[in-house]
Amino acid sequence: MSEELTPLERAVVALSRKDPVSSLRPNSRKRGWILGLPTAPLPLANPRLEALRRYAILRRVHGAARIGAERERLQETGFSRQKIEEVDELVDPSRKERRARSRAEGNLFIFDGSCFPAVRWN
């Protein structure tokens, strides 16, 4: 199986950027209609793509801290770790830059001379 997201999977991630967290609750569409609020999008018919949409929304809103269970659920539906990493980068583009920067900074030794006494010029 390919290790890249398909165009359909990328489209699901792109569409999830505008979905609120309330769209993940059951009956949120009915509740919105009764209360006169904007209705939430319907869940996707494909369970695999709905798991991807759910993961992308929660990743965007909560970050990496509270999505362990959703990550496992996404792996159970057939997404590899590489695909999940790609989803993470699509949801949070600055993540890739931070990872590259931290790797580069980890290899450097920065010496600023602060351990020496200051020179006094009279």
Q: What is the pLDDT of residue 43?
A: 75
Scored b (16 or more CB within 10 A) or e, 12-26 reads bbeebeebeeebbee
Is residue 37 very low, low, confident or very high in pLDDT (cuts 50, 70, 90)? low
**Cα(46)–Cα(22) distance, rounded to whole angstroms?**
19
77 and 40 in contact (C-beta within 8 Å)?
A: no
Record the tokens describing residue 62, joined without a space.
């909560």
117 compared with 9, residue with greater pLDDT:
9
Tokens at 71, concatenated = 């990550």
Tell me the torsion sign for CA atoms 77, 49, 89, 21.
negative
Of the listed ranges 3-12, 15-24, 90-99, the least confidently predicted one is: 90-99
Average pLDDT, the chain: 76
